[in-house]
Amino acid sequence: MERGQAGLKSMIPNSKFRKNMFIFDHEDQMLKFMLNKWEDISREGIERRGCFTAGLSGGRTPIIFYQRLAEWDSKPSWERTQFFLVDERFVSFADKDSNYRMLKETLFGKIPIPQENIHPIPTEKTSLETSAREYEEDLRRFFKVSKGQYPTFDLILLGIGEDGHTASLFPGSEALSERSHLAAAVVLDEMRHHRITLTLPVINHAEHVIFFVRGENKAFALKKIIGGDDLSLPASMVQPRSGDLLFVIDREASSQLSG
Protein backbone atom coordinates (compact mmCIF):
# COMPACT_ATOMS: atom_id res chain seq x y z
CA MET A 1 0.00 0.00 0.00
CA GLU A 2 1.51 3.32 -0.96
CA ARG A 3 0.38 6.82 -0.02
CA GLY A 4 0.33 9.26 -2.93
CA GLN A 5 -0.88 12.84 -3.09
CA ALA A 6 -4.15 11.40 -4.26
CA GLY A 7 -4.59 8.97 -1.40
CA LEU A 8 -3.64 5.44 -0.48
CA LYS A 9 -3.15 3.14 -3.45
CA SER A 10 -3.15 -0.63 -3.26
CA MET A 11 -2.81 -3.33 -5.85
CA ILE A 12 -5.34 -5.98 -4.82
CA PRO A 13 -3.46 -9.29 -4.84
CA ASN A 14 -4.60 -12.64 -6.27
CA SER A 15 -6.87 -11.13 -8.87
CA LYS A 16 -7.09 -12.50 -12.39
CA PHE A 17 -7.43 -8.98 -13.78
CA ARG A 18 -5.99 -5.58 -13.02
CA LYS A 19 -7.67 -4.44 -9.83
CA ASN A 20 -6.58 -1.33 -7.91
CA MET A 21 -7.96 0.50 -4.95
CA PHE A 22 -7.57 4.15 -3.95
CA ILE A 23 -8.66 5.28 -0.49
CA PHE A 24 -9.23 8.98 0.20
CA ASP A 25 -9.35 10.91 3.44
CA HIS A 26 -10.79 14.01 1.81
CA GLU A 27 -13.74 14.38 -0.54
CA ASP A 28 -12.00 17.00 -2.66
CA GLN A 29 -8.99 14.73 -3.26
CA MET A 30 -11.37 11.92 -4.23
CA LEU A 31 -13.23 14.11 -6.70
CA LYS A 32 -10.02 15.51 -8.21
CA PHE A 33 -8.77 11.96 -8.70
CA MET A 34 -12.03 10.88 -10.33
CA LEU A 35 -12.03 13.90 -12.63
CA ASN A 36 -8.44 13.18 -13.72
CA LYS A 37 -9.38 9.56 -14.38
CA TRP A 38 -12.40 10.69 -16.39
CA GLU A 39 -10.28 13.06 -18.49
CA ASP A 40 -7.67 10.34 -19.17
CA ILE A 41 -10.22 7.69 -20.17
CA SER A 42 -12.21 10.21 -22.23
CA ARG A 43 -9.07 11.28 -24.11
CA GLU A 44 -8.10 7.63 -24.67
CA GLY A 45 -11.52 6.77 -26.08
CA ILE A 46 -11.69 9.81 -28.36
CA GLU A 47 -8.16 9.23 -29.66
CA ARG A 48 -8.82 5.54 -30.23
CA ARG A 49 -12.35 5.53 -31.69
CA GLY A 50 -13.38 9.15 -32.13
CA CYS A 51 -15.78 9.07 -29.21
CA PHE A 52 -15.93 8.31 -25.50
CA THR A 53 -18.65 5.97 -24.28
CA ALA A 54 -19.63 6.03 -20.61
CA GLY A 55 -22.25 4.10 -18.65
CA LEU A 56 -23.36 5.96 -15.51
CA SER A 57 -25.01 4.59 -12.40
CA GLY A 58 -27.72 6.23 -10.36
CA GLY A 59 -28.22 6.39 -6.62
CA ARG A 60 -26.97 9.10 -4.26
CA THR A 61 -23.22 8.44 -4.03
CA PRO A 62 -22.15 9.62 -7.49
CA ILE A 63 -24.14 12.89 -7.31
CA ILE A 64 -21.19 14.89 -5.94
CA PHE A 65 -19.00 13.54 -8.74
CA TYR A 66 -21.53 14.37 -11.45
CA GLN A 67 -21.80 17.90 -10.03
CA ARG A 68 -17.99 18.24 -10.13
CA LEU A 69 -17.86 16.75 -13.62
CA ALA A 70 -20.40 19.32 -14.83
CA GLU A 71 -17.82 22.01 -14.04
CA TRP A 72 -15.31 20.45 -16.47
CA ASP A 73 -15.07 23.06 -19.21
CA SER A 74 -14.36 20.91 -22.27
CA LYS A 75 -16.93 21.42 -25.02
CA PRO A 76 -14.96 19.39 -27.60
CA SER A 77 -14.91 16.39 -25.28
CA TRP A 78 -18.61 16.62 -24.49
CA GLU A 79 -19.41 16.72 -28.21
CA ARG A 80 -17.55 13.39 -28.54
CA THR A 81 -19.08 11.81 -25.41
CA GLN A 82 -21.91 9.27 -25.54
CA PHE A 83 -23.75 8.73 -22.26
CA PHE A 84 -25.71 5.58 -21.46
CA LEU A 85 -27.35 4.63 -18.15
CA VAL A 86 -26.16 1.56 -16.27
CA ASP A 87 -29.64 1.09 -14.89
CA GLU A 88 -32.95 2.80 -14.31
CA ARG A 89 -35.97 2.61 -12.10
CA PHE A 90 -39.18 1.88 -14.04
CA VAL A 91 -40.69 5.30 -13.35
CA SER A 92 -41.32 8.39 -15.45
CA PHE A 93 -38.39 10.72 -16.12
CA ALA A 94 -40.15 13.28 -13.90
CA ASP A 95 -40.21 10.91 -10.91
CA LYS A 96 -38.00 11.88 -7.97
CA ASP A 97 -36.44 8.39 -8.11
CA SER A 98 -35.58 8.50 -11.83
CA ASN A 99 -31.84 8.11 -12.48
CA TYR A 100 -32.28 10.01 -15.74
CA ARG A 101 -33.86 12.91 -13.84
CA MET A 102 -30.97 12.92 -11.33
CA LEU A 103 -28.39 12.86 -14.12
CA LYS A 104 -30.17 15.61 -16.03
CA GLU A 105 -30.24 17.83 -12.94
CA THR A 106 -26.64 17.17 -11.89
CA LEU A 107 -24.81 16.76 -15.22
CA PHE A 108 -26.61 16.46 -18.56
CA GLY A 109 -28.49 19.72 -18.17
CA LYS A 110 -25.31 21.63 -17.29
CA ILE A 111 -22.88 20.67 -20.07
CA PRO A 112 -22.80 21.51 -23.82
CA ILE A 113 -23.62 17.99 -25.01
CA PRO A 114 -25.89 17.25 -27.98
CA GLN A 115 -29.13 15.62 -26.79
CA GLU A 116 -28.62 12.76 -29.25
CA ASN A 117 -25.46 11.83 -27.33
CA ILE A 118 -27.56 10.90 -24.31
CA HIS A 119 -29.22 7.48 -24.28
CA PRO A 120 -31.84 7.22 -21.54
CA ILE A 121 -33.48 3.90 -20.76
CA PRO A 122 -37.02 4.29 -22.21
CA THR A 123 -39.28 3.83 -19.19
CA GLU A 124 -42.31 5.76 -20.40
CA LYS A 125 -45.27 4.30 -22.30
CA THR A 126 -43.74 0.80 -22.43
CA SER A 127 -43.78 -2.38 -20.34
CA LEU A 128 -40.75 -3.32 -18.24
CA GLU A 129 -39.68 -6.05 -20.69
CA THR A 130 -40.31 -3.84 -23.73
CA SER A 131 -38.23 -1.12 -22.09
CA ALA A 132 -35.32 -3.52 -21.64
CA ARG A 133 -35.62 -4.69 -25.25
CA GLU A 134 -35.81 -1.13 -26.63
CA TYR A 135 -32.71 -0.16 -24.64
CA GLU A 136 -30.90 -3.22 -25.91
CA GLU A 137 -31.75 -2.23 -29.48
CA ASP A 138 -30.29 1.23 -28.84
CA LEU A 139 -27.12 -0.33 -27.47
CA ARG A 140 -26.78 -2.76 -30.42
CA ARG A 141 -27.48 0.01 -32.91
CA PHE A 142 -24.95 2.42 -31.45
CA PHE A 143 -22.16 -0.07 -30.76
CA LYS A 144 -22.93 -2.03 -33.96
CA VAL A 145 -23.01 -5.36 -32.15
CA SER A 146 -25.26 -8.26 -33.13
CA LYS A 147 -26.53 -11.27 -31.15
CA GLY A 148 -23.74 -12.95 -29.22
CA GLN A 149 -21.58 -9.84 -29.28
CA TYR A 150 -21.21 -7.29 -26.48
CA PRO A 151 -20.50 -3.54 -26.58
CA THR A 152 -17.21 -2.32 -25.17
CA PHE A 153 -17.77 0.80 -23.10
CA ASP A 154 -14.73 2.98 -22.43
CA LEU A 155 -15.97 3.47 -18.88
CA ILE A 156 -18.67 2.05 -16.65
CA LEU A 157 -19.17 3.83 -13.33
CA LEU A 158 -20.75 1.70 -10.62
CA GLY A 159 -21.90 2.02 -7.03
CA ILE A 160 -22.36 -0.70 -4.45
CA GLY A 161 -25.40 -1.32 -2.27
CA GLU A 162 -25.14 -2.44 1.36
CA ASP A 163 -26.29 -5.90 0.20
CA GLY A 164 -23.51 -6.07 -2.38
CA HIS A 165 -25.70 -5.25 -5.37
CA THR A 166 -24.41 -3.14 -8.22
CA ALA A 167 -26.24 -1.59 -11.15
CA SER A 168 -29.67 -3.16 -10.62
CA LEU A 169 -28.19 -6.62 -10.21
CA PHE A 170 -29.31 -7.80 -6.79
CA PRO A 171 -28.24 -10.90 -4.85
CA GLY A 172 -30.01 -14.03 -6.13
CA SER A 173 -31.49 -12.24 -9.14
CA GLU A 174 -32.07 -14.22 -12.34
CA ALA A 175 -30.59 -11.25 -14.21
CA LEU A 176 -27.18 -12.27 -12.82
CA SER A 177 -27.12 -15.28 -15.14
CA GLU A 178 -28.29 -13.38 -18.26
CA ARG A 179 -25.67 -13.90 -20.94
CA SER A 180 -27.38 -13.19 -24.27
CA HIS A 181 -29.27 -9.96 -23.56
CA LEU A 182 -27.45 -6.66 -23.03
CA ALA A 183 -30.18 -5.28 -20.77
CA ALA A 184 -32.50 -7.10 -18.38
CA ALA A 185 -35.82 -6.35 -16.69
CA VAL A 186 -35.69 -6.76 -12.89
CA VAL A 187 -38.93 -7.13 -10.93
CA LEU A 188 -38.48 -5.75 -7.41
CA ASP A 189 -40.93 -4.05 -5.11
CA GLU A 190 -42.86 -0.82 -4.82
CA MET A 191 -40.21 0.89 -2.72
CA ARG A 192 -37.18 0.06 -4.87
CA HIS A 193 -39.24 0.13 -8.09
CA HIS A 194 -38.89 -2.42 -10.88
CA ARG A 195 -35.64 -1.86 -12.79
CA ILE A 196 -33.89 -2.16 -16.12
CA THR A 197 -30.17 -2.89 -15.90
CA LEU A 198 -27.12 -3.58 -18.01
CA THR A 199 -26.18 -7.24 -17.70
CA LEU A 200 -22.90 -8.58 -16.34
CA PRO A 201 -21.36 -9.45 -19.74
CA VAL A 202 -21.75 -5.80 -20.82
CA ILE A 203 -20.18 -4.52 -17.61
CA ASN A 204 -17.34 -7.03 -17.84
CA HIS A 205 -16.56 -6.08 -21.44
CA ALA A 206 -15.77 -2.49 -20.52
CA GLU A 207 -12.24 -1.09 -20.86
CA HIS A 208 -12.45 0.56 -17.44
CA VAL A 209 -14.85 -0.16 -14.57
CA ILE A 210 -14.82 2.11 -11.54
CA PHE A 211 -16.60 1.43 -8.25
CA PHE A 212 -17.16 4.81 -6.59
CA VAL A 213 -18.05 4.05 -2.97
CA ARG A 214 -18.49 6.32 0.06
CA GLY A 215 -19.74 5.86 3.59
CA GLU A 216 -19.44 3.58 6.60
CA ASN A 217 -22.62 1.77 5.60
CA LYS A 218 -20.83 0.21 2.63
CA ALA A 219 -17.77 -0.99 4.60
CA PHE A 220 -18.95 -4.55 5.29
CA ALA A 221 -20.06 -5.18 1.72
CA LEU A 222 -16.83 -3.71 0.41
CA LYS A 223 -14.73 -5.94 2.67
CA LYS A 224 -16.44 -9.04 1.26
CA ILE A 225 -16.17 -7.82 -2.32
CA ILE A 226 -12.53 -6.69 -2.26
CA GLY A 227 -11.49 -9.68 -0.19
CA GLY A 228 -13.27 -12.08 -2.54
CA ASP A 229 -15.01 -13.57 0.49
CA ASP A 230 -18.41 -13.89 -1.12
CA LEU A 231 -18.46 -14.45 -4.88
CA SER A 232 -22.26 -14.69 -4.83
CA LEU A 233 -22.45 -10.93 -4.35
CA PRO A 234 -23.26 -9.18 -7.64
CA ALA A 235 -20.46 -6.63 -7.20
CA SER A 236 -18.01 -9.56 -6.77
CA MET A 237 -19.08 -10.79 -10.21
CA VAL A 238 -17.75 -7.61 -11.82
CA GLN A 239 -14.54 -9.07 -13.23
CA PRO A 240 -13.56 -7.27 -16.44
CA ARG A 241 -12.50 -9.72 -19.17
CA SER A 242 -9.62 -7.57 -20.35
CA GLY A 243 -10.30 -4.15 -18.86
CA ASP A 244 -9.27 -2.84 -15.50
CA LEU A 245 -11.22 -2.47 -12.28
CA LEU A 246 -10.73 0.42 -9.91
CA PHE A 247 -12.15 0.91 -6.42
CA VAL A 248 -12.28 4.60 -5.51
CA ILE A 249 -13.42 4.71 -1.90
CA ASP A 250 -13.41 7.04 1.06
CA ARG A 251 -11.88 6.33 4.46
CA GLU A 252 -15.26 5.43 6.00
CA ALA A 253 -16.07 2.84 3.35
CA SER A 254 -12.59 1.32 3.80
CA SER A 255 -12.96 0.95 7.58
CA GLN A 256 -13.41 -2.85 7.47
CA LEU A 257 -10.48 -3.51 5.16
CA SER A 258 -7.49 -5.09 6.90
CA GLY A 259 -4.06 -3.48 6.51
Contact between 250 and ligand 6PG per CB under 6 A: no
Which residues have C-beta within 8 Å of that of residue 185, sequence separation ≥ 6? 128, 129, 131, 132, 175, 194, 195, 196
Q: One symbol per residue from 143 to 162: x for binding ligand 6PG (CB under 6 A), - otherwise; what is it?
A: ----------------x-x-
8-16, 21-29, 71-79, 163-171 -> range binding ligand 6PG (CB under 6 A): 163-171
Residue nearest to ligand 6PG (CB): 159
Contact between 87 and ligand 6PG per CB under 6 A: yes
Give the strand pairing for 208-213 and 118-119: unpaired
Contact between 27 and ligand 6PG per CB under 6 A: no
Closest separation in Å from C-beta 155 to ligand 6PG: 15
Residues 1 and 219: beta-carbon distance below 8 Å: no
Closest separation in Å from C-beta 112 to ligand 6PG: 26
Interacting positions 96-115 with ligand 6PG (CB under 6 A):
99
Alpha-carbon distance 201 to 184, whole Å? 11
Nearer Cβ to ligand 6PG (46/237): 237
231-234: long-range contacts (C-beta < 8 A, 24 or more apart)? 232/171, 232/172, 233/163, 233/164, 233/165, 233/171, 234/164, 234/165, 234/166, 234/167, 234/169, 234/170, 234/171, 234/173, 234/176, 234/200
Closest separation in Å from C-beta 180 to ligand 6PG: 22
Closest separation in Å from C-beta 41 to ligand 6PG: 19
Q: Using CB under 6 A, which of 9, 17, 59, 224 touches ligand 6PG?
A: 59
Q: Using CB under 6 A, which of 42, 53, 57, 82 touches ligand 6PG?
A: 57
Q: How many residues bind ligand 6PG (CB under 6 A)?
A: 14
Angle, alpha carbons 176-88-158 (nearest 5°): 65
27-35, 59-67, 104-112, 247-255 -> range binding ligand 6PG (CB under 6 A): 59-67
List Cα–Cα distances, 172 to 58, 62, 225, in angstroms: 21, 25, 16
Give the strand pairing for 81-85 and 52-56: parallel
Residues in touch with ligand 6PG (CB under 6 A): 57-61, 86-87, 99, 159, 161, 165-168
